[in-house]
Amino acid sequence: MTLFADILLPLALPKVLTYSIPEELSGDAAPGQRVMVQLGKSKILAGLIWKIHQDAPTQDARPIIRIVDEKPILEPRQFEFWEWMATYYLCTPGEVMKAALPSLLKTDKLETRRKTAGPKSKKNIINETTPEEQQNEPVVSPLTPSQQAVFEEFKINIENKRVQLLHGITSSGKTEIYIHLIAEQMRQNRQVLFLLPEIAITTQIISRLESVFGDRLLIYHSRHTPVRRLKVWNRILEGPQGSGQLILGVRSSVFLPFSNLGLIIVDEEHEHSYKQQDPAPRYHARDVAIVLANLHQVPVLMGSATPSLESWYAAHGGKYALLELNERFGGVEMPEIIISGTNEARKRKQMQGSFTPLMLKAIDETLTHGEQVILFHNRRGYSPYIECSECKYIPKCISCDVSLTYHRTTRMLECHHCGYRIRVPDRCPECGSTGLTTKGLGTERVEDDLQLLFPSARIGRLDLDSTRKASSYEQILTSFESGEIDILIGTQMISKGLDFSRVNLVGIINADHLLNFPDFRSHERSFQLMTQVSGRAGRRQTRGLVVIQVSDPEHPVVQYVAGNNLSGFYHSELEERRLFSYPPFSRLIRITLKHSKAETAAIAAKDLGTRLRASLGTRVLGPQVPLIGKVQDRYLQTLLIKLERSSELTHRKNSIASHIKEVETSKAYGHLIIQADVDPL
């Protein structure tokens, strides 16, 4: 009897495609193997066998061309995991497949490598693994009494609460607790997934974990070579070889083929970098990790000094277990936080460049004592835009509805959305005036101001522009840690889990930029960023100092930060969210429509809005043009859907997906793109 295989292709197709299995291949085929199949008239793709069955399709099925793998490259539970992701995040299993697999396991890279590899055979490379050697027992440092209490409480809670939130203030020693829990799993020959929000913050923690776990530490992220990523994939698929495995990685690590998972740790769980924006699936790795843990029946420990509002609410409402670590390691005091008003300083003409007198005095005293300074400003470039002083012309991107950011080091104007760049004009293109002036403040400008004010200070800058090379980030941090840099200026990169023993001052240059962003999460983000950055100050024997520059020193969020009043802020913010039915009291879906014509985008959005309201009523808001109404030559319209947390959620999502498909495939809106973002940030 002829066998058939449902094949999943790495494309945004609504369903799997059925192919016949030639008799000579039927004994070798198994779910999870890659096969080469023909799509259309001539396209050859690598797909995955999803299911093998005897149900003949209504149309003649093309035969599988060949089987690529001797053994499946997936762990069986991954099928269920991918299906859940596709359903929850309103995308297709093919899009999940494309995001999940390393590049050498996907069509384009696989075929390219087959043609260029020469005498070395996808298969030799694909099957090349390095078994772990039997290792000695990990040597861990003893826990403090408060850390030990949290460690024991976590183990007790596992019986009733699989998900636990560790709220530990900055520098309280959360990582040491993680290490002890990992060591326990190693003794049981289990795998541990340790998630971090960004590659950038792995530098310090890698050396710390390597010193304890040696070769059992596997690292998985996009800056590694395709071959290295594939080796890690295969080592995890084969499982730990007698000594356990610790996998340290960013959000894509949730797709790895765990065969003996024992624990998932989500560090800095509040970080927005855990959310995938583009392309689909637009998943949140923290939330996905909880589902993954449930499939494997293992616990999840999420840690943060500033938990997300959703996690805080779930922990205090009894859904998650709550663990708390409220003292800094070594008894170090929390930093003193001083607020410096920029409006008052400007009125008195006391500002020097970007700085108030109070900030300058603090920097000067810190440098005099031979200590280091971190200055936080969450805007790269020299200035956000340039403007003609005569006609007020502002250069804008030709493809996006944004002004071009001025980068002084390259003398270029750059769009941070599409990458469009032009040379700074000598004259205004509109009126011919030479009076083009910079407006606003970026990290390059802060660096210039500091160089003039503190000419003998050694200054470094940590942002996307200064870390273009893969090694740049580590080089800058190493220079700062060794004392070769006195003042480090940076964007939010410097807020993420870094630990420097000689930093005694942290300055926040412009808190207004954080607070005034038009988004319901802006206050939460501002509180988290300012608190996290503040935690870099005084992490050893001396109490640190934090200076926050802001136009309104009485702003409630700033006051909560200054008072280290996390509980007060969260209760206040929750009341606001409850009043307007925002998460955690609802689930959001943001739908974005894109078209090359503004009118078509607007008409299609209105059509979709009407269809959605017919089934969802007032839960649908919009459409409207977003803050940035054009990106990469496409005009945008958005709709926002607020759904109650109920058993009807899946049904309503299916209805939304159906309406999206109807509008997107309508001939009236040719080349329309519709993207659904579930749980948007």
> Domain end: 327, 347, 366, which one?
327
177 within a domain of the structure (yes/no):
yes
* pLDDT for the residue numbered 539: 62
Task: Report the share of the chain in percent with pLDDT over 70.
Answer: 94
Whether 176 and 164 share a structural domain: yes
CB 480 within 8 A of CB 498: no
- At 535, which amino acid appears? G
Residue 137: pLDDT band with limits 50, 70, 90:
confident
pLDDT at 494 over 90: no
* pLDDT for the residue numbered 130: 53
- Tokens 């922990």 sit at which residue? 315
Distance CA 629, CA 631 (A): 7
Residue 113: pLDDT band with limits 50, 70, 90:
very low
Whether 319 and 348 share a structural domain: no
* pLDDT for the residue numbered 679: 96
Where b means 16+ CB within 10 Å and e means fewer, 158-180 reads eeebbbbbbbbbbbbbbbbbbbb
Whether 343 and 492 share a structural domain: yes
**Total structural domains within the chain:** 5
Provide the CATH number for the domain around residue 654.
Answer: 3.30.70.600
Whether 398 and 478 share a structural domain: no
Whether 42 and 105 share a structural domain: yes
Whether 498 and 510 share a structural domain: yes
pLDDT at 484 over 60: yes
Residue 306: pLDDT band with limits 50, 70, 90:
very high
Cα end-to-end span (Å), the chain? 51
137 within a domain of the structure (yes/no):
no
Q: In this predicted model, what pLDDT tens digit does every residue of 454-470 receive, in sequence order? A: 999 999 998 888 877 76
Contacts of 97 (CB under 8 A, 6+ apart): 8, 9, 10, 48, 82
Whether 550 and 453 share a structural domain: yes
Q: In this predicted model, what pLDDT tens digit does every residue of 219-261 receive, in sequence order? A: 998 878 899 999 999 999 998 887 789 999 999 999 999 999 9
pLDDT at 586 over 70: yes
* pLDDT for the residue numbered 540: 63
Residue 107, domain extent:
3-127
- The tokens of 651 are what? 């049904």
CB 523 within 8 A of CB 515: yes
* pLDDT for the residue numbered 116: 34
pLDDT at 572 over 60: yes
> Domain end: 576, 601, 633, which one?
576
Of 213-227, 256-270, 290-304, 597-611, the poorest mean pLDDT is in 213-227
503 within a domain of the structure (yes/no):
yes
Which residue, 89, 125, 38, is CA-closest to 587?
89
132 within a domain of the structure (yes/no):
no
140 within a domain of the structure (yes/no):
no
Contacts of 248 (CB under 8 A, 6+ apart): 194, 196, 202, 205, 206, 209, 217, 218, 219, 220
pLDDT at 602 over 90: yes
pLDDT at 211 over 50: yes
582 within a domain of the structure (yes/no):
no
Whether 174 and 304 share a structural domain: yes
Give the CA distances from residue 393 to residues 129, 386, 403, 406, 582, in Å, rounded to whole numbers and listed in that order: 59, 8, 10, 14, 39
* pLDDT for the residue numbered 94: 95
Whether 377 and 388 share a structural domain: no
133 within a domain of the structure (yes/no):
no
Q: In this predicted model, what pLDDT tens digit does every residue of 375-404 receive, in sequence order? A: 999 888 888 899 999 999 999 999 999 999
Q: In this predicted model, what pLDDT tens digit does every residue of 410-441 receive, in sequence order? A: 889 999 999 999 999 999 999 999 999 998 88
Provide the CATH number for the domain around residue 113.
Answer: 3.40.1440.60
Of 132-141, 494-503, 592-601, 639-648, the poorest mean pLDDT is in 132-141
* pLDDT for the residue numbered 465: 80
Whether 435 and 495 share a structural domain: no
* pLDDT for the residue numbered 110: 43
Task: Report the share of the chain in percent with pLDDT over 90.
Answer: 72
pTM of the model: 0.92
Residue 135: pLDDT band with limits 50, 70, 90:
low
Average pLDDT, the chain: 90
Strand order in the sheet with 421-423: 405-407, 412-414, 421-423
* pLDDT for the residue numbered 331: 74
* pLDDT for the residue numbered 120: 40
> Domain end: 418, 439, 460, which one?
439
Q: In this predicted model, what pLDDT tens digit does every residue of 534-551 receive, in sequence order? A: 888 876 667 889 999 999
Provide the CATH number for the domain around residue 166.
Answer: 3.40.50.300
226 within a domain of the structure (yes/no):
yes
Whether 213 and 315 share a structural domain: yes
* pLDDT for the residue numbered 606: 98
CB 379 within 8 A of CB 442: yes
Q: In this predicted model, what pLDDT tens digit does every residue of 175-195 receive, in sequence order? A: 999 999 999 999 999 999 999
pLDDT at 132 over 60: no
CB 500 within 8 A of CB 536: yes
- Tokens 């959605």 sit at which residue? 612
Whether 556 and 669 share a structural domain: no
Distance CA 119, CA 115 (A): 10
- Could you tell me where the beta strands, DSSP code E, fall in 236-297? 245-249, 261-267
- At 81, which amino acid appears? F
Where b means 16+ CB within 10 Å and e means fewer, 94-113 reads bbbbbbbbbbbbbbebbeeb
Instruction: Please tell me whether the peptide bond between 623 and the residue prior to it is cis, using omega within 30 degrees of 0.
Output: yes
* pLDDT for the residue numbered 190: 96
* pLDDT for the residue numbered 240: 87
